[in-house]
Structure formats: structure tokens, C-alpha cells
Structure 1
Amino acid sequence: METWRGIDATPDRWPASVVAIGVFDGVHRGHAALIRTAVKAADERGVRSVAVTFDPHPTAVVAPHAVPAQLTSVERRVALLGALGVDGVCVLPFTGDLSRLSPEYFVRHVVVGGLHAVGVVVGENFRFGHKAAGDVKLLAELGREYGFEVLAQPLTADAEAFSSTRVRARIAEGDVAAAAEVLGRDFGVEGTVVHGAARGADLGFPTANIATAPGSAIPADGVYTGWLHTGSHRLPASISVGTNPTFDGGERTVEAHLLDFSGDLYGEDVRLDFATRLRGQVAFDNVDDLVEQIETDVAQTRAALGLEQRRW
């Protein structure tokens, strides 16, 4: 799979393509169904399949006061789209200039002139062009004029509708299991391991503190089971999200106690996948009660992840 940023970087050797267009934040099961349609249509036509996404989220430009929490970084999004079988992913920088293009200009210069589309696959509620003036009906009309077929479909899989908004709502509630049903995989956050207050180590349960990008979707405060991915390693983790109320903390943090692991991860870029929610955030009366609860959390994490004692 190839990736490129901007229309000007489109490979010249790709004279024709079937293009799937969308923000694709989260790359949920509905997005996956749409991408599979594009791949199949490209195969039938003997051309390349291309997924087109936008960075930043268009709302960040047209309505910055209402930007939704980001489910995936653009790098993660590209990787997930590539895993669905497309030949290429084009990341379009969403700028003020792009937002002001008329629907006709967008089709003529981006879809046809830049991506050489002979087919365009979009969600049935797709909007494009200045002030979202273009819809699927207009896209189909332009397709007849410029020589490409439009395949519009609902964002569904197995007759169940999916949306990034629905994923964000479940994550905000802490229902990571329900979010995974929509995504088709565990929800994950990405970030860098940084130094924290070292309270976990003092209590006998050292944690990796994950600094996430501003605007990232983070599950509701509480304790979760999950996995930390670093390089080729997948490490089981008991995850805490919250403000450490037992210590009168104010800053919201994401921390992962890695089971049966000892090592230095500081400075590493990691992904933390959330499997299940164990409980909400609690302020304990004393440190002994907190330690007892952490021991229970770790035991429940081990059971939930199907682990036996081992060294990594």
C-alpha cells in the first residue's frame, strides 16, 4: 500500500482509480464495509483502489468550537485503512481554501483531475464542497458529466448502522466493550510514555503514564483491563484513567500497570487498547485501602485477560 499527502503527490502511474472518500475517524465497521465496496469495485474494473481521508478533521476548520474528540491519529487511520486492502491512502490537508471549494470544483480538480476517479464510493449521507452544499445526488450528476460512477451506501455491517459519533458516546460513558462492537476491535489511545508522580511505584504497582495528543477521545474515569502495544510487544495491563482522587489529584491521567513486566518504556510511543471496564474512579480513605483495591484490580485484570503468571 502507498500513502501520500495532497493531490499533487498522487502517483502518476495510477491513471484510474475507485476512490472511497470520508473522514473515516475510528475506521469502524461501517467504514470497513464502505472500503470493501471500493476494493471490490476497483478489482472489477481493473484499476487501483484509493481511500481518501482528511487531516485535520474538517470541523476543526469550519467549526473549531465543535471539534469532536479524535478516535484515531491520522497515522493510525492510514494503517487501519491499509489493512482493509486498499492500494493507496491519500491524506488531504483540510484547509480553509479546501473548505471554500464549490462542489463542482472539488469534483473537477480533486476527484477527477487529481485522483483520476472512475468510481467514487461514499456514505449515503456524504456532503462536500463549500458549506456542505454538495450531496450524493449532486455527486451522481457530476459523475455522469465527468465519467465516474457513484456508489453510495449506508455505513452499516450486518444491517446494523454505525457511526463515529456513536463510538465517541460509548467511550465517554466508559463502555469500551460497546465501543468495540462498533469498531470491530478494541478502542485504543496513542501517546508517549512520560514520567509521572511515581506514586504507583511507591505503592508497589509501577505504571506507565501515557501522554496523549490534545483532543484525543479518552474513556470515562475508572479502571480497565487492556493491552499496551510497543514495537512488536503486546503487554497485558491494568489501566487507570482519572485524577487520582485519593491523593487530591487535579490533572487527568492515563496510566497502565503492566502485569509481570519490568523494563524502561520512557519516551516510547505506544498504543493502549481498552478491553473491559472493571469499575469507576473511587477516592479511598487511606493508602492501605487503595493498595488492597489495586491488588483486586490486578487479579481481575489477569482473570479477564485469561493470563497466568509469567515474565515478559
Structure 2
Amino acid sequence: MVDISIIIPTFNRLWALPRAVESCRSDGCTVEVIVVDDGSTDGTWGWLQERKDVVSIHQANWGKDWAVATGMAAARGTYVRYLDSDDWLKPGANEEQFAQARQTNADIVVAGYEDYFEGSDRTELHPWMDCDDFIAQQLGEVSFSHYSAFMFRREFVADIPHRQEFALRDDRLFVLEAAIKGPRLAVYGKPAFVHRHHRQERLQRTAGFKKDLADWTTIEVYRKVVGLLELAGELSPRRKRAAVAQIWPVVRTLAKTQPEVAAAAAEWIFKLDPAFVPPVRKSIRWAYDRLGFRVTERLIGTLTFFRRPPLSGPPA
């Protein structure tokens, strides 16, 4: 009997993987560590072959979502958790969260987490914030924590894949879909996981076209979830407000480079919550009313451009 399966997708992170794997060790419960090597070329597979206590799976480089799906197919634990190979779990998190899960028969054991900033060794605590509406919380009403700090009953999430079409925000959609299912929750009162900030490549770190794609994906995640809630008759005004407040800054950021896409998203927001008052200056709200979102944001972008300092000093 396996208590917890921990799925670690990895690609060329041998510099960090050993710590992630070691952090999964637990004395108080039975843990299987499943590492899915997504076609690494840095010696990861050779290192894994020497770890007889790790379930090692090799696949071609199809990306994180397929790696997680491969790991889930192999998992045997009553509970499952997901860990990036450059992060790690806090000591005691596995056994203590599992003990809570057994005691409460929870579908999800939630927890806070820590940020660790490599180079300065600075840490920042993000404690779990209690909220009486788990869906509203995960939509952004209050801090929704990080899904690697959570432990999920495997049977409860077995039908929720990490969806490739939302790959840059797949974990956010995953938790929102789990929330919609109405899980029994237990709250672990300590940080369960450490999220490492570093200068190496990371899926969440985007710029240029990828940044636009990440913002668009975030908007699409919220549109999908709002649609699911509306279909189920569970889209309360509170949940609408949470979704709109969370997505509005993303829409404004996207307007700088993709005005048409952002304008369509803004129109969706105003239709979803007609009472929404954008948190901007009164003059900008006035312009939204008179000129529309698209024209207003284009004018703001033009003014911002002309206010930029010159790239070089005046001629000698």
C-alpha cells in the first residue's frame, strides 16, 4: 500500500533534481517518488538509473503536461502531489498532511508555502489564508497559495488532466477544476513547500510573445472556469467579482501588445460584471465610457511612448 505518490516532471534540471527528490523522503508514511524525464540531455536519465528507490520513467520531450499524465498513469498512492524538479518540500509535510487527510477524510489538504530567492538566500512566507468559499479563493478573492503545497486524493483528481491547451497555466486550471468538484478540505497550518526563484529557464518566466501567450492563456482559463460555473448554476456574484478583479490587470497588460485580444477580453469582463468599476484614475474611466477600452488603451500607449526618456543624451 502506497500512501502518497509524488510526481516530478523534469527536463535538464539535474542541477536541482536531487534536492527535490530527497525532500520527498518521509518516515511516517509510504511514499513513492515518480520522476518523469521529459527527454533530458544533461545526464538526468543516467542519474535516475542509480536511484533504485525512485520510479523512473523516460519519454520523448513532449512537455510538462504529458510528463505529469505519464506519472499519474503509474501512480499507486492513495494521495498524490505534484512537484517541479527545481523546488522542494518542507520537512514533515508529507507525513503530517497525510495524517490530516486520514483523520478528516479530506479530498485535498491545502497549505501555504515559502518563496526562496537564490543568490540572496532570502525567503518569503505565504501562509494559507482561510476563506469560506474555496472556489472564490482559487479565482483570486484572496491568496490561493500554490498547488505543489497541496495533497490531492488520487481518485478525486483522476479525471482532471493537466490540459496541454492551457500549458502555461495548466496548474491554475487544474486546481480550479478540482475546486468546482466540491472537495472536502483540510488545512495544514504550516508551509508545505518551497518555491525556488532562480535565473535558469522556467515555464512561468516569459517575455515577448511568450508573455502575451501566457496572459492570453490566463484569460482563457478564467473564461473556461466561469463558463463551467455558469453551466452548473454556481456562478455567484462573489465569484464573478473575484474572477474579474484577478483578470483585469492581465487584460490591461495584454492591451499594450495585443489590443484587439485585450479589448475582447475587457468586453467580456464588463458583460460578466456590469457593476465592475475599473481600479484606474477617473479620467481613464471617463475615457472608457466615451471612447471605449480599445481606443483608450491605444491612447495611453501612445502617451507613454512619447513620455519615455531619450535613449541617449543630447548631442555634444
Measured against the shorter chain, the TM-score band is: under 0.3
Looking at secondary structure, tell me which structure has more helix per residue.
Answer: 2
Which TM-score applies when normalising by structure 1? Answer: 0.28
Looking at secondary structure, tell me which structure has more strand per residue.
Answer: 1
